[in-house]
Amino acid sequence: MANYVLVPGACHGGWWYEPIAAELRAAGHSAYPVTLSGLGPEESAAGINLDTHIDDVVRLLEAEDLRDVVLCGHSYAGMVITGVADRVPERIACLLHVDAFAPEDGESVWSLTDDSWHEWYAGGAGADGFAFAPLPVLDERAVPHPLATITQRIRLTGAHRRVPRREYVYCAGFENSPLTATYERLADDPSWHVRVLPVGHNIIREAFDDFREILLDAAPANVYFGP
């Protein structure tokens, strides 16, 4: 049995992963879709930054004593899972970045994106100054996302590089993707295994079966998959 911890992107909660988490559980694995702080219904984003979200996931791993974890992050959540891996690399068997940021020390989502994205982040936070509103194209369950998680620079010691397996999935059909530079950098890095899918950013909607197989393939080699 593998342990999957699934961290969603901006404006989304654990519900985004539930259809694929159900299939992982049906295959005999444990799956933990995470709803990060400030992203629950009617939950305030005040005082929530990137460190808060990293702490959310580290607490889950420690509370459930999860080891040999496949830690998956979509989009913004690449920031979160990188920070988690830097804190507790000994608990993680595979880092799976799914069309996600993969930052170096001192980078932020803000520093890794251009003005067209900054307009959404800063311009969309006018309601309360703490969170930016979801884009109309997102799922109807999407909620405002804490702005400080986007602007805070990540602090890394380099311990995340001790995770034995690092995977990257690039969704080549994502128009105006802020992740192309990340993909190009990692494609030339032998410590990463990089795949390309000809789909848009919402991989669950557009490539559910491919995503399920990528997740199953990321399980540690000694995991028994049943008959």
28: Cβ contacts below 8 Å, ≥ 6 apart: 1, 224, 225, 226
Q: How far apart are CA 157 and CA 147, in angstroms?
A: 24
Catalytic residues: 75
Contact (CB, 8 A) for 74 and 215: no
69-74 and 3-7: which strand pairing? parallel
Q: How far apart are CA 71 and CA 226, in angstroms?
A: 22
* Torsion angle of the four alpha carbons 88, 5, 214, 11, in this order, in degrees rounded to the nearest 10: -110
Q: How far apart are CA 19 and CA 208, in angstroms?
A: 9
